Structures are given as structure tokens and as C-alpha cells.
Structure 1
Amino acid sequence: MSTWLSINGLAVLLLTVLLAAAVFAGTVWVWPRLTGRGVRPVLGRAGLQLAVTLTMGVPLLLAVNSSYGFYSSWRDLLSLQREEPAPAGTDPAGRDGLLVRSTHSWRHGGSDDPAVIGRIEAVTVRGPRSGLSAQAYVYLPPQYLNATAQRRAEFPVVLALSGFPSTTRVLIDLFRYPQVALDAVREGKMRPAVLVLTTPTVAPPRDTECVDVPGGPRVETFFAEDLRAATAAHYGLTRDPRGWGVMGNSVGGYCALKLALRKPEAYRAAAGLSASYEAARDADTGDLFGGDASRRRENDLLWRLRNLPQPPVSLLVASSRRGEHQYPQTLEFIEAVRPPARISSIVLASGGHNYETWGREVPPALVWLVGRLAPGDGGS
């Protein structure tokens, strides 16, 4: 189905708005004929009220879904995704911490040949250190599929995180990370890279803000240690932190920047799109720090930049002059970065905290991030 008619497409939203307007106009026209106390008039009025409520609610739900990405496609909404058998040669037991569940069917540029567009695998990553597991997609570019084992260890690796609440599928269906990467390589803007696509919500339904919660889920450990180790072992990728980058939007952007600043031994470059700069504190997060004010400060990115030595990492932040509530904090973040850390930015003239804005920022941010990754000999 075309993007125009997708669940987040403009055409679908306009059609539902027109339908709601037509039902409302019809209700106004018919209502005088349904006066009275009989069964038929009462049922008629109740039916019209229900029709108006339902048809007016659909555009609102579609708009909310477009902003937060609960469902990325009609198949996702109707739970019709079809999983294919795992390719030959995968580890069915997941002994290296990564289990390939299926391959994701996709097309780009008129082709569905993995030798031309690459392969997307749906995987489960299990973490022995954190005790957590998460579902993800791994995009393997065609150059990786054709490479020797030694050459595969030289590929840069990007971890891409969605926001909260959100799903992993939005990274493929809305942000189109694999398609963006493939186009950038074909246009000579970027080297081929392996992409790991997932959500920061690995202890659902809690929003952990990628924190190792005292007595709770160790999400920072999962992303800094478990996911890297499992992915590198399964796909023969580098463990060199100079070859690993992380990016994300909203909460995923906060996680990305924080992982680079707190765990430079895992990620040496990060991009935060509309990122927050400190952990939220609300009903979705609960108490992330066990009441420890020092732990909270250490996860406040502006506090870290101003009070702690800065690691040798490359950072990118993206925001909008109009429409983004965190734009002033983004400027503060940029000003606070000092060597050996380095900072770059993408600043749009306008754009809200939504998928349309992030969709404009993902392509240049991904090209920037891969350009900062330079794995060495594949060592740790």
C-alpha cells in the first residue's frame, strides 16, 4: 500500500474528516424527523449520536497515532504481519544471545532481492548481564551479505532507538531507516552500515529512560553491554566502540546521547533528535533512581557536561526554532560541550515533536553518524 494511503497517510486522515463532516451534516438534516417519544425516534437519535461520536473520534485517533506511532501500518493494527522462516545457517538456540525469528519482507527501488537491497532480520536479543530481552530488527546491507568474515568486522554499526510510547516497526515503516541507508550509500553519501533497530522500552510498560533502576530493570547495561555483545558475536561485527554509534528520537534521543556520554567504551558517537536532556519523572517512569539525588544528577546530561570530564565522543543534536519545547535546552547543551567531546547540530526553522519532523532529520543524522564511525581492527 502506498504511503499516501497508509495508516499515517494524509489521504486517510482527510477521508475520515470528510466522513465525519458528512455524518454530522446528515444528523443535523435528519434530526427534526426523529422527534417524539416512540421506540423508533429514540433508537434513531441514539444511532445518530453514536455515528457522530465514532466518525469524529477516528480522525483524532489517527492524528494521535501519527504523532506517537502506536501502529505503523494497517497490518500492524490488524495483527496481520507474516513472519517467514529464519534463513539457513542461523542459530536456532540463540546461544550467542541473539535469536533470528524471521526475515522481514520488504522492497525498495522495485527490487526485493537481498543481494540488491540487503536483508532485514527480526531478532530477539537476550542479555545475560541485565537479565532483559528485547525484539529488534537488524538491517544487513548487500555489501555485508557479500563480504568475507574479516571484512564484516570492519562495518560500522548503528543502534537506532524509537521514542516512548512507540514500537520498533515505526523505524522501518515511518522513518524507513533501511531505505534511507540504502539510498545514502547509492548516492555516495555514506558507507554501508549494519543497523540495529529497536525501542528503548525493553521493560514494558515502564518508561525506564535507559536507566539501570535500583532493584529494577538494568536497561543501560542491556544497551551498553548485552545488545552489543550479542549482535557482534552473531554477525561477526566489530566490538570496537569507535565502530558503534547510537541515535534516536525523543526518549530514544535522550538514551542515545546519554549512552555516549556515560558509556564511551560502548558508543563513541550519538545523535539525539528532539532529545530531552534529563530523565522524566512521571507515572510511566516511577522512581528511576531509588530516591538518590546523585544518581539523578548523573543522568542529567547538562549537569554532566558542566560538572564532569567529557569523554572523546561525537554528538549531534537536532531541534527546531519554532515548535520544539526543548529548543532552549538544546542551545544550552551545544554551548556546554567541550573538547575532547565534539558537537554538531541540525536546527530546523520549524517543526513539532512528531514523526514528520523526525522524518526530515533522520537522513542527515544517519549520514553524519556513520561518517563518525571508524572501527579499528575489530578488537574490543
Structure 2
Amino acid sequence: MSLTGTPFFLTSLMLLIVAVVLPFALWGRIAGPPLVRGLARLLMLLFAQVTAITVVFVLVNNANSLYDTWGDLLGTDSHVEAARDLGPDGMGGRQVAHEPKQIQRFRPADDPKVGADVRMTDLQGKISGVRGEVYVWLPPQYNDPAYRNKKFPVVELLPGYPGSAKSWLGSLHAAQQLMPLMQSGTVKPAILVAPRTNLLPGVDTGCVNLPGKVNADSWLTVDVRKMIIDNFRAGDKPDSWALAGYSAGAHCAAKLALAHPDRYRAAVAMSGYNDPALERDSLAGKDPKLRIESNPLHILKTANAAGKPPRTALYVSGAARDGYQSGLALRQYAQLPTTVNVQLIPANAGGHTTAVWEQQVPQIFRWLGTQLRA
């Protein structure tokens, strides 16, 4: 039974009802010695507590898209088949232009909550050695005959940790919000791509490449990117690509965009952080070298020192002590052509929650429309 499906929720709810009714029906009817009666009553109470906790967990998980599968929840699934050393460019000596096209089969998304127009595919990363699902939403103009010769910009959507690939399309309702705005011209059309980021059991990869462990950077910036270009009318230049993330995904979005200005023009980071060690389960945060190298602020300072500030536009939003200061630090060291737009979220807006990030979707995509072009 699927962890996020309606059948599991209904089953949990039914068990909770049974657990609540059972003590009222049987409490005084239990026969046997006092020890047996006491043990039976204790088990009924424990059963009621467990079912109540289960229902709350299912509601929270479905609302925030934390865990997609039982394997994600129990920490039994790995989506890494190989993690060889790919070098500083994350390509392992290969050139994307020389790689054969990877044509994928797409099917309707496996969760109706993300919307009827969302499709998904299972991608086998040829460079990264990662396998995982990728969700894709096409803007309303994509199938309009007037746009048949037009390529579209692309935004990769990254969740927090733990987080599901479908969180932006499900919990944040990005497609539902953007559909009318793109139809009216308020927001420029773009392809939305939501790849799996939960790749290792019980670990936030920090979107880094670590030989022998995972090549999460190459999965997102090489394999997923190439697959979209191979299968859709997507722009293949950096000016056509952006990343957007919240929480741990915000850290990834800023890091990847600054590290790969040859692949991305812009990034949105909502309620993120610069130091990966602020996420206690971060793979990068536990490695002293990676902790420094994957810090967006360090990446920016190093590029500036080399006389090559990245041509990257960042939109950073967050409350005080929840992403805002990280954005100010990046803005302080930004040198043209790097730009950093920092937005303060009020402390009473709702905290570190999907409700806060959902409200920002229209604004961040209006901003992305000023940065991206096909």
C-alpha cells in the first residue's frame, strides 16, 4: 500500500476509529485474572495512541510531501547505482554535446494531488549513476500552435529535506498557481521540472558530488538537465535555466547556480542557509572539505578572487535567522555580473512552513521571468 495514497490514509483513519471505540466497548467486559485484564487494557490504550500518531503523521506527510515511499521513510532505499569520481566539472571527462540523446517515456503522475497535467518518468542518470523519478509540467503555451517553433525556459524545483520530488507541484501548488498567470501573461511561460533529491537513506546529500557516495550535483545539473533538453522544446543555454528551492533545497539552488554559471542563469532560495552543517543530516556538512567548498558564500568569494564573478542572479527570501542573513551575506560579496535580491519575510508570516513558501510562488516566478529567456 502506498505511503501517500488515499487507501493508506483511509485505513489509518478506520483503525483510529476502531482504537477509540474498542476501550468503550470492551473495558468492563474483559475476563480473566487482574494481570490479564490490566495487560489487555494497556494494549488497547497503546493501540489507540499508535493509530492516533499514525493519522497525524499521514496528514502532515501528505500536506508537506516529506516522504514519498516506505523506503524513504524507513531509510531502506538508495537511488545511487554508482558514484565514481567525476572530477571538478562533474562530467568525468565526458562532454554533454557528444552524449547520445536520452529519449524517455512519460506517464501521468502517480499522485493526483500534483495535478492532471503533470507527467513523470524514471530516469537513469548516465553520468551521475543516480536513478530516480522526474516530474514535468508544461506551460499552457507549449502545445499552442503559435508556439510550435518556440523553445521554453526551464526551472528546476528542489524540495527541502526530507522532501518529495512532487512537493512543489503538490504542497506548494506551483502548477495550479502559475497556470492562470501564464495564460494571462502575468508570468512568462516556463517548463517546471521536479527531480528526486532524496537519494540516500537518512542523508541529505547537500546536492554535492562525493566519490564513493553519491553524485547528486551531476544528477541535477547534468543528467536531468540533458534529459529535459533531449525530450522537450527547452532552451539549452544558461539563460534558459534556473533553480528554485526552499529550506535545504534553497541551499542547493544557490550553490548549484553559483557553481555552474555555464548551466544556470538564476536561482531562488527561500528560507535557506549557506553553511551546509546547519542541516544535521547533511552529507556535505559532515565533510570538512565539502562543508567549505559547497558553501554558496565560499563559492562566490572564490570566483571573485579569481576575477570571475559568476553571471548569476539570486533571489533570496527568508525571515530573520531563517535565510535572511544568508542572503545579506551573499549580497555583500556580490560583484557584477552577480546580483542578489534579498527579501525579508515577516516573523509572523507562518515560520518555516510550506504555507509560507506557497504564498511566494507567484512573486518568484514573476522575478524569474525577468531573468530567463528561451
Return the TM-score normalized by structure 2: 0.74
User: 1:253 touches 1:274 (CA, 8 Å); kept in 2?
Assistant: yes
Match of 1:337 in 2: 334
374 and 282 in structure 1: CA distance in 2 versus 1, 3 angstrom threshold: closer
Letter paired with 1:49: L
After superposition, the Cα gap between the structure-2 partners of 1:287 and 1:159, relative to the gap in structure 1 and judged at 3 Å, is closer
Instruction: Report if the CA contact (8 A) 1:200-1:209 is conserved.
Output: no
Change in CA separation of 1:252 and 1:148 when aligned onto 2, cut-off 3 Å: same
Matches within 5 A, 1:1-380: 37-38=33-34, 41-42=37-38, 44-58=40-54, 60-62=56-58, 64-65=60-61, 69-70=65-66, 96-104=101-109, 119-147=117-145, 151-153=149-151, 155-204=152-201, 206-280=203-277, 284-286=281-283, 293=289, 295-309=290-304, 310-321=309-320, 325-349=322-346, 350=348, 351-375=350-374
Q: 1:67 to 1:297 in 2, by over 3 A?
A: farther
Figure out how many residues of one structure are paired with residues of the other and give that number.
330
Q: Which whole-Å deviations, capped at 9, do the CAs of 1:3-50 have from their partners, x for residues lacking one? A: xxx99x9xx9xxx8xx89x959x979x979989944773255224422
Superposed displacement of residue 297, structure 1: 2.0
8 Å contact from structure 1 (residues 245, 370) kept in 2 = no
What CA distance in whole angstroms lies between the structure 1 residues aligned with 2:140 and 2:296?
37
Q: CA deviation at 1:107?
A: 8.7
The C-alpha deviation readout for 1:307-339, integer Å capped at 9, x for no partner, is: 432211110011124xx5444333323333232
Q: CA, structure 1 residues 68+157, in 2 after alignment: closer, same or farther (shift >3 Å)?
A: same
Cα distance in 2 between the residues matched to 1:187 and 1:243: 21
Amino acid of the residue matched to residue 260 of structure 2? K
Describe the shift of the 1:107–1:283 C-alpha distance in structure 2 as closer, same or farther (beyond 3 A). Answer: closer
Cα distance change of structure 1 residues 254 and 99 upon mapping to structure 2, 3 Å threshold: same
- Structure 1 stretches lacking a partner, 5+ long: 1-5, 78-94, 113-118, 376-380
CA contact (8 A) 2:276 2:295 kept: yes
Which amino acid counterpart does residue 128 of structure 2 have in structure 1? S
Query: In percent, how many aligned pairs have the same letter?
Result: 26
Aligned equivalents of 1:41 and 1:227: distance in 2?
A: 59
Confirm or deny: 8 A CA contact 1:269 1:373 kept in the other structure.
yes
| Contact 2:161-2:249 at 8 Å conserved across structures | yes
Amino acid at match of 1:317: V
Residues 152/212 of structure 1: CA separation in 2 closer, same or farther (3 Å cut): same
| Cα separation, partners in 2 of 1:345 and 1:288, compared to 1, 3 Å | closer
Deviation at 1:98, TM superposition (A): 4.4
Contact 2:245 2:252 in 1 (8 A): yes
Is the 8 Å Cα contact of residues 141 and 147 (structure 2) preserved in structure 1?
no
Structure 1 residue 101 displacement after superposition: 3.7
Per-residue CA shift, 1:202-249, capped at 9, x if unaligned? 455542111111333222122222221221111132111101111111
Change in CA separation of 1:40 and 1:53 when aligned onto 2, cut-off 3 Å: same
Note the alpha carbon deviations across 1:239-277, whole angstroms, 9 max, x for none: 111011111111111111111100000001000111121
- Find the residue that maps to 1:370 and give its secondary structure: helix
Deviation readout 1:79-136 (Å, 9 max, x if unpaired): xxxxxxxxxxxxxxxx73242241238999xx96xxxxxx422112333222223211
Asked whether the 8 Å contact 2:270–2:323 carries over to 1, the reply is no
Q: Which amino acid aligns with 2:344?
A: V
